[in-house]
Amino acid sequence: MNRTYNMKPLYSILFLLFTGSLFSQTTFKVDNFSKQYYGKMFIADTSEVFSPGWIAIYDQKTNKQLIKVKSEELTFSLHNGKVLANIKELPYGEQSQILYEDYNFDGVKDFAIMDGQFSCYHGPSFKIYLATTAGFQYNADFTRLAQEYCGMFQIDSKEKRISTMTKSGCCWHQFSEFKVRNNKPYPIKIIEEGMDPSGILWDYTEQKWTNGKMLQTKYQVLDEERTYDKVLLSFEFENKKKMKILNSGTLLYYVFTDVNNKIELLYHDTFTYSKAENSLKFVNHNTEYTIYDTKIVIKTPNKTYEMKAANNTKYGTLATFKKQEVNNVIP
């Protein structure tokens, strides 16, 4: 006799068991940051890297909920089975969902609560709640610093200073410093760096709060890592300034830097090479520069200067130069 069985209930049970193991809703208690408060974090699906959920802060004595932040994208790491607060490995390392620190430097700790991944490159972002006499209050100005940069901001409690960083690709970065006045962060220093089209220089724009206003300066710095194998000749002077001749493969560069490695003169137009003197010569405006292996001779319309290399600072020699390797040298 043939019998027909209804398999749907069995399939339903197996499906519920299987999906229940994959899509697990979990609430974690976070209690390693304060004797007054503890936190809870709800994750809707622990099988996903990013999951909807919420984070809340409670009073230890009354269990009253003080703060609650919902998010469509929370992520977490476990440490011996627990979610821990106050881990802040900036800029790209682990950052806890709950940070308990003094952000406005009034001596009372505040909260930063992860609200998703809204910072640079889909990184963690936070909402800031400052401690007040009326409880923890959301603060938009501090929150902006934890949303518009790369992850959470850094604090320097000794100097009472906040630092942020953001970037775009490999070759543009911005570093900012803030001071707090009247419970609001104000920028006091902003440095932007970007790679010059040459591929060997960094362009810097620096803004600094000076005498009641932001003053801007611009300068360039040679990328030492990208150019260490391109140096034909370099030496240092007694005043710690430096000179380098670089061969980029297509162009020759003369680079003169100050004691802070900021470029004072960069030249990559036409050079003249003398094999007999083993020297390079170029004219910039109305000044002639002749570079030898151990000195530079500078001629202006009124005077001639000789700048000798300091002892034991010379590297390389112009004798290794081959004019056919570059486009801006004539015999």
Q: What is the structure's pLDDT at 1?
A: 42
Q: Which of 263, 197, 252, 172 is nearest to 224 (CA)?
A: 263
Residue 92 has a pLDDT of 87
CA-nearest of 316, 210, 206, 216 to 260 is 206
Highest-confidence segment of 21-35, 165-179, 311-325: 165-179
pLDDT at 172 over 80: yes
Per-residue pLDDT reduced to its tens digit, 239-251: 999 999 999 888 9
| Mean pLDDT, range 93-101, rounded to an integer | 97
Q: Is 70 exceeded by the pLDDT of residue 133? A: yes
Q: Is it the case that residue 228 has pLDDT exceeding 60? A: yes
Name the maximum alpha-carbon separation found in the chain: 120
pLDDT band at 23 (very low <50, low <70, confident <90, very high): low
Please state, rounded to an integer, the average pLDDT across all residues of the chain.
92
Q: Grade residue 324 by pLDDT with cuts at 50, 70 and 90.
A: low
**What's the rounded Cα separation, in Å, for the pair 292 and 277?**
8
pTM across the whole model: 0.82
